[in-house]
Amino acid sequence: MANIHTNHYLENNKLYAGGQAVHKPAYPGKQPINPAKHVAVVACMDARLDVEDMLGLQTGDAHIIRNAGGVVNDDTIRCLIISHHLLNTNEIILIHHTRCGMLAFTDDLLKAGLEGDPAAEKLLGQATGRAFTSCKKSSAMPSAFHAFRGPLEPLDGPRNARQTERLEWDVRRGMSAILNHPWIPTSGPDAVTVRGFIYDVDTGMLGEVSYPGTMGSFG
């Protein structure tokens, strides 16, 4: 029975990529608080991702947790622990995507630009195609932007092997962070499953990322 709903949503994704509408947008009426399919999805906030549509989720099926990059940070883990232990989810789907903005900068570069470094401002402006306006102030928060590891890619650049590898690295790092957290069980009667994917914004298709595997380098 493990992954039964995840597998179903992958089939829905094929229909979506083929042009079929699987998600029903109408208000479904009164529903219980627990997600009906016991699924939690972690995905990027990118405007090109409509998680309900791409997976054919219906209202009430799943928790959807979104942030810049779909990264597994402290707040993501917080949400997943609550989702699992209090609201009975046991299948976790992690989704990154092609052409992601998190490939186009590093944490240090963005911080330097926000603090007013002219060279960083210039690079960020080139990356985004718009004037980067520095705040010229330093801040302790956020402590990290969680830019993806590896050599920089142009913002919204077409998919290539290096971009795909960097996305796979971060998906695996996110999966590892979930699977190795002491409060998220991966064995026994209360175990969760975790699977990771890359969504292609040009085709609408999800491609699964193997795990375990390499999680990247700074080179």
Q: Looking at the chain, how many residues does it have?
A: 219
The parent domain of residue 119 ranges over 106-144
**Residue 200 clears pLDDT 50, i.e. is over it:** yes
pLDDT range class, residue 218, cuts 50, 70, 90: low
Whether 42 and 70 have beta carbons less than 8 Å apart is answered as: yes
Residue 216 lies in a domain: no
**Residue 219 clears pLDDT 70, i.e. is over it:** no
Q: Which residues are annotated as a binding site?
A: 44, 46, 97, 100
Query: Which of 144, 165, 198 finishes a domain?
Result: 144
Considering the domain architecture, whether residues 53 and 38 belong to the same structural domain is answered as yes
Residue 215 lies in a domain: no
pLDDT of residue 1: 46
Copy the structure tokens of residue 214: 């390499």
Rounded Cα distance between 191 and 92, Å, is 11
Considering the domain architecture, whether residues 24 and 124 belong to the same structural domain is answered as no
pTM summary value: 0.94
Phi-psi region of 33 (alpha: psi -120 to 50; beta: other; left: phi over 0): alpha
Considering the domain architecture, whether residues 18 and 117 belong to the same structural domain is answered as no
Residue 219 lies in a domain: no
What is the domain count for the chain?
A: 2
Residue 218 lies in a domain: no
- Smallest CA-to-CA distance from 57 within 12, 119, 123 is with 12
Considering the domain architecture, whether residues 66 and 157 belong to the same structural domain is answered as yes
Considering the domain architecture, whether residues 76 and 135 belong to the same structural domain is answered as no
**Any idea what the CATH number is for the domain that residue 199 is in?**
3.40.1050.10
Considering the domain architecture, whether residues 59 and 130 belong to the same structural domain is answered as no
pLDDT range class, residue 151, cuts 50, 70, 90: confident
Lowest-confidence range among 29-38, 73-82, 150-159, 182-191? 150-159
Percent of the chain with pLDDT over 90: 91
Copy the structure tokens of residue 154: 């142009």
Q: Is the peptide bond before 142 cis (omega within 30 degrees of 0)?
A: yes
Q: Which residues are annotated as a binding site for Zn(2+)?
A: 44, 46, 97, 100
- What is the pLDDT averaged over residues 121-144? 94
| Mean pLDDT of the residues in the chain | 95
Rounded Cα distance between 99 and 160, Å, is 10
Instruction: Check the CA dihedral 52-55-61-62 and report its sign.
Output: negative
pLDDT of residue 154: 87
Considering the domain architecture, whether residues 118 and 186 belong to the same structural domain is answered as no
In terms of C-beta density within 10 A (0-12 exposed, 13-18 middle, 19 or more buried), how is residue 20 classed? exposed
